[in-house]
Amino acid sequence: MAGVSAEPRQVDLREPAGWRRTKNRLATWLMVLSFVLVIIPLGFVLVTVIAKGASSINWSFLTGGPVPPVVAPAGVGGLGPAVLGTIEITAVATVMAVPLGVLAAIYLSEYGGRNWLAAFIGFLADVMTGVPSIIMGLFIFTIWVLHFGLSGFAGSLALGCLMLPIVIRSSYEILRLVPNSLREGSYALGATKSRVTVTVVLPAAIGGIVSGVLLAVARAAGETAPLLFCIGAAETANANVFSGADTALPLQIFSNASQPYVGAAERGWGAALTLIAICFILMIAARLVTARFARYSH
Amino acid sequence: MSTVTRVDPASPAGSTRPLSQRRPLGDRTFQLLALGCGLLVLVILVLIAVTTSQQASSWFSNEGLKIFTNNWNPGANQFGVLAFIYGTAITAIIAVILSVPVSLGIALLLTEVVPYRWSRPIVYVVDLLAVVPSVVWGLWGILVFAPWLQKIYTDIAGGVDGVPVLGPLFGQPVSGASFFTAGIILAFMITPIVTSLSREVIATVPAIDKEGAYALGATRWEMIRGAVWPHSQAGVVGAVLLGLGRAMGETIAVALVIGSSPEITSHLFAPGYNLPAGIANLFGEASGEFRAALMGMGVLLFVITIIINVIARGAVQRNARRKRGA
């Protein structure tokens, strides 16, 4: 009587052969290919902007003025007023949107809990990030420009509306990551809820919040559509944000891009390089803040 | 935004009341302030709807349902915007068709294939697409990309001339600035958002499902088909819809490359127009009834994107909730 072999059968751990393997390989290569498909246009845009923009950038282009008319040849005047306008308008928008956005995120994360109102507001903030930026421009045109006229401040309001939901979303995500033990420790010392939030939760989350804010600013600084009907078209620098027409880099790119003149194209590329540089610096700053200061991040 | 379940330390376990009923005035003020800021989102959205509709009311009441006809002639005070709606839909659909396979590929690459330390740089590169401002895409699109595409379009149009279905879609007339060019540029612009949302959704697939598939001897692709896809289907649909919404609302890049011609045609290589580009290009010179019509186009765009976003966010959130319930 032969006994049943006690030796267990070997499990075949080799990669399956034939069509199954080919399909798996194919799928992996398609995934890699899709990443390559993203790098190509990105590289193409960046190389073009740098190659064509670098020649027109110099100190008088960045700080000089007045903004030349689109028919002017390259080298006349400068985009100083537009650089100043972009910085002013974005800064005022940031000053308005960030405190409101962070406070709203505090409501959602610290006070909202699981109640329906907080869930509803969170949902609306998400939906608001999808509202087209040109709608913000039309909105501010209706409630502000029709009554008080064109100004840099109107542009700031429109950009602020655009930034608000982005700031809420990113701050909320960070506040959620602050461990409850920190809050409990503070409550145990007898602190009130607002004190816990302001002195314990916010400092713990500040790195992540700043990083999110910088990304929102980068997004707003590059936006054209909300400014289109709000700030008008100034040719000289306007240091007063609250009155009179202003101008900004994205608007200069837009007006130069839609004209067939050689000088306009040169100015457009120069302005595009300046704008991309501003946006990238803000993004790199956000990464550095995350790496250096953020205690909690994704 | 999903909310985490956690016990509020201010009201200790076993008690429904906070420790102290007497809260200082400052504490309550702060809470009200935070609530006010939260409600600001609601207020802004309602104000957008109300004020822009008011500005557009004369257009809506004068034209009635005629706003949905293809009859755009501002000189004769005729403002039927069907061509703009058509252009909005066509460009957004082209963008989604081009962008979704690529976005899903990258999302799967990030979640299932590459190790964690490689995924960070890949995410940074994809996010760079979103950092390039819309107007720079437009400038590049009209000065570099469109002239280059025009040659390709001409070749394709020559090839499909007279072919039944392809002829009317890809045949003459061709133009560098066209529906299709706008669709390609939009595809670049929505890829980061579709990728990051799909990645978020795919990351919620329980590891145990994936390990189970591998244990049954599945290859990676079979695991993706059998474990990842069924679990993340609804969420991915949400991500795609959000991309669609973004593509519909994107303004400046499209305004530069779409060709600015309000026509309804099956030819994808022909110039067209869409709602946001129409508003951006025409608003400056408009007044009276014309301006009301452009405001009304804004209202239409707002309503369409809000509906798409609500459906999409709902789908993404349901997906996230199911993960927590599992």
pLDDT tens profile A150-172: 889 999 999 999 999 999 999 99
Check whether A19 has a pLDDT greater than 70.
yes
- A-chain residues within 8 Å CB-CB of B308? 130
Q: Closest CB to A49: pick one of B19, B47, B136.
A: B136
Residue A144 and residue A243 in contact, taking contact as beta carbons nearer than 8 Å: no
Multiple choice CATH, B59-325, 3.40.190.10, 2.30.42.10, 1.20.1260.10, 1.10.3720.10: 1.10.3720.10
Minimal C-alpha gap between B80 and chain A (Å): 20
Residue of higher predicted confidence among A70 and B15 = A70
Domains recognised in chain A with CATH numbers: 59-293 (1.10.3720.10)
Mean pLDDT of B16-32: 74
Which residue in chain B has the smallest CA separation from A172?
Answer: B1
Residue A26 and residue A44 in contact, taking contact as beta carbons nearer than 8 Å: no
Write b or e for each residue in A137-155: b if 16 or more Cβ atoms lie within 10 A of its Cβ, otherwise e: bbbbbbbbbeeeebbbbbb
Mean pLDDT of A82-94: 93
Q: Mean pLDDT over all residues of chain A?
A: 88
CB-based contact B139 A269, cutoff 8 Å: yes
CA neighbours closer than 13 Å in the CB half-sphere of residue A28: 13
Residue type, B311: I
pLDDT tens profile B254-303: 999 998 888 888 888 889 899 999 999 988 888 888 889 999 999 999 99
Which residue in chain B has the smallest CA separation from A276?
Answer: B132
Residue B260 and residue B144 in contact, taking contact as beta carbons nearer than 8 Å: no
Distant-in-sequence, close-in-space partners of B217: CB < 8 Å, separation ≥ 6: A16
Domain ranges of chain B: 59-325
* Chosen from B91, B135, B224 to mutate, greatest number of chain A CBs within 10 A: B135
Minimal C-alpha gap between B274 and chain A (Å): 13
pLDDT tens profile A238-258: 888 888 888 899 999 998 888
**What's the confidence (pLDDT) of residue B4?**
47
Q: Three-class SS of residue A244?
A: strand
Interface size A-B, in CB pairs within 8 Å, comes to 290
Q: Closest CB to B276: pick one of A38, A124, A132.
A: A132
**What's the confidence (pLDDT) of residue B138?**
94
Does residue B63 sit at the A interface (CB-CB below 8 Å)? no
pLDDT tens profile B86-135: 999 999 999 999 999 999 999 999 998 888 888 888 998 998 888 899 99
Residue B230 and residue B319 in contact, taking contact as beta carbons nearer than 8 Å: no
The DSSP 8-state label assigned to residue B76 in this structure reads G
Distant-in-sequence, close-in-space partners of B248: CB < 8 Å, separation ≥ 6: A132, B88, B89, B92, B274, B275, B276, B301, B304, B305, B308
CB-based contact B38 A139, cutoff 8 Å: no
Does residue B229 sit at the A interface (CB-CB below 8 Å)? no
CA neighbours closer than 13 Å in the CB half-sphere of residue A120: 9
**What's the confidence (pLDDT) of residue A237?**
81
Check whether B13 has a pLDDT greater than 80.
no
Check whether B68 has a pLDDT greater than 90.
no
Check whether A5 has a pLDDT greater than 60.
no
- The percentage of chain B sitting over the pLDDT mark of 90, rounded to a whole number, equals 49
Which alpha helices (H) appear in chain A, and where do they start and end? 19-54, 59-63, 80-106, 116-129, 133-140, 146-148, 152-177, 180-188, 193-196, 202-221, 249-257, 262-293
Residue A76 and residue A68 in contact, taking contact as beta carbons nearer than 8 Å: yes
Minimal C-alpha gap between B162 and chain A (Å): 31
In this prediction, residue B8 has a pLDDT band, given cuts at 50, 70 and 90, of low
**What's the confidence (pLDDT) of residue B1?**
45
Contacts by A243-248, CB closer than 8 A, 24 or more apart:
A243/A149, A243/A151, A244/A150, A244/A151, A245/A150, A245/A151, A246/A81, A246/A85, A246/A88, A246/A89, A246/A150, A246/A151, A246/A152, A246/A155, A247/A67, A247/A81, A247/A82, A247/A85, A248/A82, A248/A85, A248/A86, A248/A89, A248/A155
Q: Closest CB to B134: pick one of A20, A139, A224.
A: A224
Check whether A4 has a pLDDT greater than 60.
no
* Chosen from A23, A127, A201, A278 to mutate, greatest number of chain B CBs within 10 A: A127
CB-based contact A134 B298, cutoff 8 Å: yes
Mean pLDDT of A75-79: 79
Q: Closest CB to A104: pick one of B37, B48, B279.
A: B37
CB-based contact B109 A103, cutoff 8 Å: no
**What's the confidence (pLDDT) of residue B166?**
78
Check whether A298 has a pLDDT greater than 80.
no
**What's the confidence (pLDDT) of residue B252?**
92
Mean pLDDT of A123-149: 92
CB-based contact A27 B250, cutoff 8 Å: no
In this prediction, residue A7 has a pLDDT band, given cuts at 50, 70 and 90, of low
CA B309-B245-B255 angle, to 5 degrees, is 145
Cα–Cα dist B119/B192, whole Å: 14
- B-chain residues within 8 Å CB-CB of A131? 45, 48, 249, 302, 305-306, 309
User: Which string of DSSP letters, residue by residue, matches B5-27?
Assistant: ----TTS-TT-SS-S-S---HHH
In this prediction, residue A10 has a pLDDT band, given cuts at 50, 70 and 90, of confident
**What's the confidence (pLDDT) of residue B21?**
60
> Which residues are paired to A151 by β-bridges?
A244
Mean pLDDT of A252-270: 87
pTM: 0.89
CB-based contact A253 B135, cutoff 8 Å: yes
CB-based contact B308 A192, cutoff 8 Å: no
- A-chain residues within 8 Å CB-CB of B126? 35, 38
Check whether A149 has a pLDDT greater than 70.
yes
Mean pLDDT of B59-66: 83
- ipTM score: 0.89
Residue A222 and residue A231 in contact, taking contact as beta carbons nearer than 8 Å: no
**What's the confidence (pLDDT) of residue A1?**
45
Counts for chain B of helices (H) and strands (E), in that order:
13, 2
